[in-house]
Amino acid sequence: MGIAIDIEGLTFEERLELYDKLVDSLTPDRRFDPSPAWHGEVLAVRERLERNGQVKYAPLDEVMDQFRREGLCK
């Protein structure tokens, strides 16, 4: 283990990218899926709600921009 990363010095987006890369490195052939079984059911419900116009989702960067404008995060 020769790599040191100053996680506290990373932005939120950089931390998410690092997390994604770490998870991808643990599951290169998808034989091990870290998602619990109920997660697929939750996603199906969310997709149905979006299709029916009951909820609207936005890309993370848009949500973060709005939060910053509203002073909810840095």
The pLDDT tens digits of the residues spanning 1-10 come to 678 889 999 9
Residue type, 47: E
pLDDT band at 68 (very low <50, low <70, confident <90, very high): very high
pLDDT band at 70 (very low <50, low <70, confident <90, very high): very high
Instruction: Pull the structure tokens for residue 22.
Output: 């770490």
% of the chain exceeding 90 in pLDDT: 64
In the predicted structure, residue 33 carries a pLDDT above the cut 70: no
Q: What residue segments make up the domains of the chain, in order of their start? A: 10-69
% of the chain exceeding 70 in pLDDT: 89
CB distance 27 to 33 below 8 Å? yes
> Rounded CA gap, 18 and 8, in Å?
12
pLDDT (0 to 100) of residue 37: 82
Instruction: Pull the structure tokens for residue 72.
Output: 């909810």
